[in-house]
With several copies, the nearest count.
Chain A
Amino acid sequence: MIRKLTMIQAITEAMDQKLAEDSRVMLLGEDVGVNGGVFRATEDLIHKYGANRVVDTPLSEAGIIGAAIGMAMNGLIPIVEIQFLAFIYPGFEQIVSHAARMRYRTRGQYHVPMVIRTPYGAGIRGPELHSESVETFFAHVPGLKVVAPSTPYDAKGLLIAAIEDPDPVIFLEPTKLYRAFKEEVPEEMYRVPIGKAKVVREGTDISIFAWGAMLRVAEEAAKQLEREQGASCEVVDLRTIYPLDRDAIVASLKKTGRAVVVHEAHKTAGMGAEIISIINDEALIYLKAPVKRITGFDVPVPQFSIEDDYLPTPARVKSGIVETLTF
């Protein structure tokens, strides 16, 4: 029988299996215990693994992340849940100045095998600061890895890979996709490698690079364009934001000669700029048109009544693609 899970179920299962398998693995966060997490990602895990391994912490992100760093240095593998990406800022110093640097400073003697999971992105009618997509902040910090799955299957495999990764991983979960759809997810443990993109739709006219919730927007635009105008769009799910899969980006671009990047984050200094730069570095001569960025705007994420207008939509992606195709 085919077993289908939502992304949140897949995430829970990954943690559950790692908790079962490896006694060093722990969960820490606000409301992750008795309450099972504000999105229920850790539902019931406290009952299975006890309050010593699934810990309801005080409301204190620097405390949670800082303590997890210490735990990770001393033999444990903490998985931290931050309730929403914007609430990671109180712990930003701990991430940037410590988690990312401990291995470096001690020349490999100590390292920080930690995962920080957090929902990110807009589209759920959340209040202020519940919809941020600031992956750039972490991609600019050598020593961190940054991951963002777009499907239940990848979420499970990437999370297991992240937990097993000896370095700190920022694991960004697109809130909008938590329960958006189900797909087949193997019951056994498996890994999706960090740093590897995936071509989710083959095409020849243009490459669309996206991740997280924007992947589906990209796919929708690709489908519509194919149907409406016969354009053949290749859609590449980057899956890992740092380190980017340069080879996949370049290979797709060389094939199509045109590209758009779709992301929710603000345009300026968003990861779209880095992707354009990789193309500039490696494949400029293949480019038949400027790479178009279809992104969140350079404004704070607005209140939710107009958040859909802040986000890239299939319509905006399509018009960006058409612009690129007709350049």
Chain B
Amino acid sequence: MTSLYQVLAPTGELTQDIEGRLDESVMIKMYENMVLVRLFDRKSINLQRQGRMGTYAPFEGQEASQVGSALALTPGDWLFPTYRDHAAAIVHGQSMARVFLYWMGHMEGSISPQGLNVMPPCVPIATQMIHAVGTAWASKLQNEQHVSLAYFGDGATSEGDFHEALNFAGVFKTPTIFFCQNNGYAISVPFSQQSASKTIAQRAAAYDIPGVRIDGNDVFAVWLTMKEAMERALNGEGPTLIEAITYRYGAHTTADDPKKYRDQEKLAEEWRTERDPIQRLRTFLVQRGLWSDAQEAQLVARANEQIDAALVEAESYPKSRPEDMFKHVYAEPTWMAEEQEGELVKPAKKEDIPA
């Protein structure tokens, strides 16, 4: 079984020397981003509860994996998030307002910021992995120094697309990074029932590509592993499979009840108290004199402000109009679209739709 790469222990101690490999400014950025996205995540759950947002997929507990990996990227890199990877998207430059819009069911919720390649959250499991092979391949053929980073979960590794993507990337040595957040569950199904294989990283052997198993709650390990994978990718040495061991504290989505399938009190609380990614980095930073309570208070205040501002932006954003559904189906609308748009004369009135 592949061993687990860890740099920052849950206690906040370094388990190995990383001198010169990770700037303090980056460490602080990591921390700030992790706190920001955690607050964002909690806010989102609240918004869903208040009926201001649709079903939402929270990521609390997985911040180190998403923030550490996305922070390692450079602006032109391609990011392929799933429905749970808004933290990564935000770190790579997506606006929080846009993420809110997405979960509010707005038509414009998955537009990438100009000049950046933040792909729409991918819903059909594992399908985005192959796109990240294609974009990376195109980058390579066009001599652009960019990697493509595909996120996916442990459950995704059972889909055929996982296999086809890794195999393709191996054959064509595309600069793709396959980043698996193994949070232990695919909705209710634990990884032990997902596969007889003990780890996901070991699957890299099937494609003769490097596979690494890392502590996904250790943001340093995530970032350092990413940097290595990026270097290999840009050197023409092809893809890397990263398995980041992590945990989602909460429900699969706001429509899910994790108590149905696991002991939330015990398991989730254990992870939260003993292996939290933010806690351990905070301990580390404080011990190094890089972080203070005053800074913390400032950060939280600023983050909450940003989130509130994003929410105001999202909620005051012009609502999607029925006509929007006819736009962007094709570059040029067909006669069907033109004609059918005419049938919208009577917009849907909530009152008369049977419940």
Chain A–chain B contact at Cβ < 8 A: yes
Cα distance, A305 to B350, chains bound together (Å) = 12
Q: Which residues of B contact A63 (CB under 8 A)?
A: 130, 133, 158, 161, 164-165, 167-168
A171 at interface, CB cutoff 8 A: no
Beyond A58-B194, A63-B165, A67-B168, whether A311 also contacts B348 by CB under 8 A is yes
A18 at interface, CB cutoff 8 A: no
5 residue pairs, one from A and one from B, having the closest CB atoms: A70-B134, A66-B130, A304-B105, A35-B188, A63-B164
Q: Which residues of B contact A316 (CB under 8 A)?
A: 343, 346
Chain B interface residue number, banded: 35 or more
Q: Please encode chain B, from 300 to 315, with 1 for each CB lying within 8 Å of some chain A CB and 0 for all others.
A: 0000000000000000
One of A88-96, A153-161, A230-238 at the interface: A88-96
Beyond A86-B124, A107-B328, A128-B123, whether A62 also contacts B131 by CB under 8 A is no
A103 at interface, CB cutoff 8 A: yes
> Which chain B residue shows the least CB distance to A247?
B335
Q: Are B325 and A97 in contact (CB under 8 A)?
A: no
Q: Which residues of B contact A108 (CB under 8 A)?
A: 327-328, 331
Q: Which residues of B contact A167 (CB under 8 A)?
A: 330-331
Rounded to whole Å, the gap between the CB of A39 and the closest CB of chain B is 9
Q: Are B134 and A60 in contact (CB under 8 A)?
A: no
Beyond A166-B331, A220-B354, whether A71 also contacts B134 by CB under 8 A is yes
Q: Which residues of A contact B188 (CB under 8 A)?
A: 31, 33-35, 56
> Which chain A residue shows the least CB distance to B78?
A74
A184 at interface, CB cutoff 8 A: no
Cα distance, A89 to B159, chains bound together (Å) = 12
B155 at interface, CB cutoff 8 A: yes
Q: Are A103 and B330 in contact (CB under 8 A)?
A: yes
Within residues 62 to 104 of chain B, which ones have a CB less than 8 A from any CB in chain A?
Answer: 78, 83, 102-104
Q: Are A142 and B127 in contact (CB under 8 A)?
A: no
Cα distance, A217 to B344, chains bound together (Å) = 16
Q: Pick the residue among B102, B120, B127, B156 that contacts A94 (CB under 8 A).
A: B127
Q: Which residues of A contact B348 (CB under 8 A)?
A: 308-309, 311, 313, 315
B189 at interface, CB cutoff 8 A: yes
Task: Write the residues of chain B forming the contact surface with A, with a CB cutoff of 8 angstroms.
Answer: 54-55, 78, 83, 102-112, 119-120, 123-125, 127, 129-139, 141-142, 148, 155-156, 158-161, 164-165, 167-168, 171-172, 186-189, 193-195, 255-256, 260-261, 319-322, 324-331, 334-337, 340, 343-350, 352-355
A243 at interface, CB cutoff 8 A: yes
Q: Which residues of B contact A165 (CB under 8 A)?
A: 331
5 contacts between A and B (CB under 8 A): A58-B189, A59-B158, A66-B130, A70-B132, A267-B340
A4 at interface, CB cutoff 8 A: no
Beyond A217-B353, A309-B325, whether A106 also contacts B111 by CB under 8 A is yes
Cα distance, A166 to B345, chains bound together (Å) = 30
A137 at interface, CB cutoff 8 A: no
Q: Which residues of A contact B102 (CB under 8 A)?
A: 303
A226 at interface, CB cutoff 8 A: no
Q: Are B132 and A98 in contact (CB under 8 A)?
A: no
Q: Are B171 and A30 in contact (CB under 8 A)?
A: no
